[in-house]
Structure 1
Amino acid sequence: MRDRRRQKEAWKADWAVRKAEWRAREKRRKACGESPDYGRGPMGPPNAFTLLPWLLLGMGAISNVIKGETPNPWIGALGLLVFNSLYITLVFRAFDRRAREAASTRWCLAALGAVTCALALAYGGNWLLFFPLWGLATGAVVRGRTLGPVMFVVTGLAGAIAGLDEGWDTLGIAYGTLVSGMVTAAILALSETVKELRETRQELARAAVDQERLRFSRDLHDLLGHTLSVIVVKSEAARRIAPRDMDAALGQIADIEAVGRQALTEIREAVTGYRETSLAAELDRARGALTAAGIEPVVRQSGPPLAPQAAALLGWVVREAATNAIRHSGATSCEIEVRSTRERVRLVITDNGGGVGSTLPGSGLTGLTERLAAAGGTLAGGPVPGPGRGFRVTAELPVENPETAENEES
């Protein structure tokens, strides 16, 4: 009962939404000077109430009972009451999946068939019209591969029993039974498919929003982590050298201003989703940040130019690894090596610090690992093996030759 109430409330809510959409659409048509579209209204999904008016097919049998044209009218009236009760129960259960698939629903459908056959054999005539109602209830309850065999049995019984009374008119009863069941099943299956597609679309929209939030959080972490580290390092350098060399301190402050302005520009571009990291620019920034932090940078680059996507991904890796080396490693030197071929590119960043640069909790390398994996690459980081201390970050990516990409696009 509670499930049925919730289902009824969901139908009402969906109807209200459709009605509001229809009214808004009509207002727009009126504002544009178009004539009202009277042929289309706020149609809701089919429900149990849409199948109840078909009970009017039994009005002929009810009329026979009332006029006394039926032998044993009390038995006929009892049969009508049982048939209508079973039919209403089945159509309401048909729109609740758990109730529809329950064994009790199958027994109700079988009981409805038994009552239909008994009334048709006993009275014939108008009572044969209960067979299409039985077929309709069957199409509403039975789904999937079992629908065909069940409808074959129902139609066969309808044709056989009607043939005893109507002769060639049996074809109309059998055809009506088959069509009512199959059309009802097709409409309800289509309605459920539309509902599932709508839910899937909503879920995909939510997933897209979550993915965009994740992308933005990664970009913001990488941007602010690197920029704030550079600002902190240059501020410390300015504070240390200010008593001795004010001009050099002012130079560091000018660098802080430039870094801050650049960070503002990058954040605006990241918000709009159009930011592309350049590997060459990130290598220059890393070289400057490492030098300001007292870490000697060694940058080596060889191989053909990289495609923009690969360069952007590796630029993020350089930014994150350089930030970690400045903040956590305590290193005195940092080597950055980029080797590329026409098939793959390999980026190796090694420092001689304490070997903990990217193992700290909250490191952005976790997000970068996911990014590279999505592009078919790998990212690994860990202490340098062998004697000495240090930390190494290695990134590999499949690359596409820029000239080939341009030719394919053209």
Structure 2
Amino acid sequence: MPLLLFALCAASAAIAWLRGGDLSTVLSLLWGTFCAGLIPAMIVRLWEAIRELQRTREELARAAVTEERLRFSRDLHDLLGHTLSVIVVKAEAVRRLAPRDVDAAVEQATDIERIGRQALTEVRAAVTGYRGRGLAAELDSARTALADAGIGLTIRTASFGLPPEVDALLGWAVREGVTNVIRHSGATRCEIELEQVTDGGMELRISDDGGGRSPAPGREPGARQGNGLAGLRERVRAAGGRLSTGSAPSGGFRLQVMLDT
């Protein structure tokens, strides 16, 4: 387009000069040709830009839908994976207790009903966009779930005024870490620590003394790195934090989350 406009201007100037026009006539014709060509060229470029913006907007809309679907699937995986793990543990307890202690078995069965109802509530909350119950609620749930699984728990946390998004994310980390311990570790002890580091951030550590190779009967064996940890890693990264996994000092497994507050 610029080369065509330049050629038209040069041709009009040459024609005017060859026909005996003076300098002012040549310049006037040159300017008129330039303006007459520039305006359509600008209109064409404007329409091209508008079409490109429309295509970009459509692509962004498709990407947003895809990302929301991934978020929703991760939330359901975390919610139901944890809840179903607890239900399996309690069902095992009912099976063991039923022959010798009917009352205790009934109590565990009642817990299964309560957890199932709570899971329904959490799924409905996830559908409406709620992202987590918060750290305190997940710590309470961890106490119950680990106790029912026969795993001792030590919690070392202080009272912090956490922003809502940080509180929710740490709650998700506790939920996923505890689910990981119950399903894969074969541990007898678990430790959850939360402390404020020197730069003002928060550091959460979930450690166990298991090896991940000899889970309790009826529990799922396999690798410690599952879809839940992958989804949690994405959430932590999106919040500007870091997630690391590795061996704990006790010889088991450690999940570590570092967030800026």
Q: Same fold (TM over 0.5)?
A: yes
Alpha-carbon separation, structure 1, partners of 2:222 and 2:234: 15
Distance in structure 2 (CA, Å) of the matches to 1:355 and 1:307: 34
1:118-156: CA deviations, max 9, x gaps? xxxxxxxxxxxxxxxxxxxxxxxx2xxxx2x76345313
From 376, 380, 397, the counterpart of 2:240: 376
Tell me: higher relative CO, structure 1 or 2? Use CA pairs within 8 A at least 6 residues apart: 2
Task: State the secondary structure of the residue aligned to 2:234.
Answer: helix
What pairs with 1:260-275 in structure 2 (closer than 5 Å)?
A: 260-275=116-131
2:253 matches 1:391? yes
The aligned amino acid for 2:16 is A
Alpha-carbon distance in structure 2 between the residues aligned to 1:274 and 1:392: 28
User: Structure 2 vs 1, CA of residues 249 and 173 (structure 1 numbering), >3 Å: closer, same or farther?
Assistant: same
Contact 1:266 1:275 in 2 (8 A): no
Q: Which residue pairs with 2:34 in the alignment?
A: 178
Percent identical residues: 55
- How far the C-alpha of 1:359 sits from its partner, in A, is 4.1
More strand by share: 2
Q: Which runs of 5+ in 2 are unaligned?
A: 214-220
Cα deviation code 1:249-281 (max 9, x no counterpart): 111111111111111111111111134331000
- Provide the residue aligned with 1:244 in structure 2: 100
Query: Equivalents in 1 of 2:144, 2:133: separation in Å?
Result: 17
- Separation in structure 1 between the aligned mates of residue 251 and residue 109 of structure 2, nearest angstrom: 33
Amino acid at match of 2:257: A
Aligned residues: 251
Residue 67 of structure 2 aligns to a residue in which SS? helix
Tell me which protein shows more helix as a share of its residues: 1
2:10 corresponds to:
156
Structure 2 distance, partners of 1:316, 1:280, is 11
Q: Using the TM superposition, name which of 337-346 and 353-362 deviates more.
A: 353-362
1:394 corresponds to which letter in structure 2?
Q
Confirm or deny that 1:165 pairs with 2:19: yes
TM (norm. structure 2) is 0.88
Q: Which amino acid aligns with 2:202?
A: V
Q: Report Cα offsets for 1:71-96 as digits up to 9, x if no partner.
A: xxxxxxxxxxxxxxxxxxxxxxxxxx
Q: Is residue 324–residue 358 contact of structure 1 (8 Å, CA) maintained in 2?
A: no
The CA distance in 1 between the partners of 2:152 and 2:134, in whole Å, is 22
Alignment gaps of 5+ in structure 1: 1-141, 400-410
Q: RMSD of the TM alignment (CA)?
A: 2.2
Could you state the TM-score of these two structures normalised by the residue count of structure 1? 0.57
The Cα of 1:230 is off from its aligned counterpart by: 0.5
Distance 1:391 1:175 in 2: 77
Runs of 4+ in 1 over 2 A off after TM superposition: 149-154, 162-177, 274-277, 355-363
Mapping for residues 192-211 of structure 1, pairs under 5 Å: 192-211=48-67
